[in-house]
Amino acid sequence: QSCLLLTNALAAFALGRIILRFGVSERPALLGALLFLCWPSKDATMFWPFVIINSASLLAMLAAYLAHLDYVESGRLRSLALSSMAVLASLALYDQCVFLLPLWLITPRLLIDGVPTRARNGAAAAAVATAAYLTFKLVFVPHVMHIPFNKTFVLTASHFMLTFLSGVEANLGPSLILFSLRALRAA
């Protein structure tokens, strides 16, 4: 339980660091990190000790994005390598973040300078790491190791929109807002 608590606290800290990188002052960044920890729709599995891989995967992806932002600012190849390795670690733990690649194009100066070359390079490196992981999982494991992949993919625009809108409803919908207000009043 304490390892899971530490992992979630580190993820909140990483999120706070990302918010700071985008030029937000310390108090709102701290509020964002705290909201990350206590938002009422947070998946209960984030707090089940035997599924620490979900939280660890998210922590690795947040660390990857922080390293990417450092690479975009500094140009240090070490940060680019660290970002790619953290993407691989995140996906190897649990592939919940596999579709976050477009995030790599978003940088603190996006609205001023557009997408800088380093952000494109970092996104390409993250895409290569993701492709390597998917090749291992979807080609090597089933065909070389003879372990079948027993999940189905639904990659349609309508399924994407349904999933996206369900996520918005779960995180910001009227039911959640009413529940939060009732809980606040009761507290």
List pLDDT tens digits, range 62-103. 999 999 999 999 999 999 999 999 999 999 998 888 888 889
* Average pLDDT over every residue of 177-185: 81
Mean pLDDT of 133-153: 87
Among the listed residues 83, 78, 80, 71, the one whose alpha carbon sits nearest the alpha carbon of residue 108 = 71
Three-state SS string across the chain, please? CHHHHHHHHHHHHHHHHHHHHCCCCHHHHHHHHHHHHHCCCCCHHHHCHHHHHHHHHHHHHHHHHHHHHHHHHHCCHHHHHHHHHHHHHHHHHCHHHCCCHHHHHCCCCHHHHCCCHHHHHHHHHHHHHHHHHHHHHHHHHHHCCCCCCCCCCCCCHHHHHHHHHHHHHHHHCHHHHHHHHHHHHHC
Q: What is the pLDDT of residue 40?
A: 63
- Taking a C-beta distance cutoff of 8 angstroms, is the pair 19, 33 a contact? yes
pLDDT of residue 172: 77
Identify the pLDDT of residue 42.
Answer: 63
pLDDT the model gives residue 64: 97
Q: What is the pLDDT of residues 14-40, one digit of tens each?
A: 999 999 999 999 999 999 999 888 876
80 contacts 119 by C-beta, under 8 angstroms: no
pLDDT at res. 4: 85
Q: Which of 70, 69, 57 is nearest to 7 (CA)?
A: 57
CA distances from 162 to 48, 92, 96, 97 (A): 27, 27, 17, 18
110 band by pLDDT with thresholds 50, 70 and 90 = confident
The mean pLDDT value of the chain amounts to 88
**pTM over the 0.85 mark:** no
At 132 the pLDDT is 95
Angle ∠(45,50,54) on CA atoms, nearest 5: 50
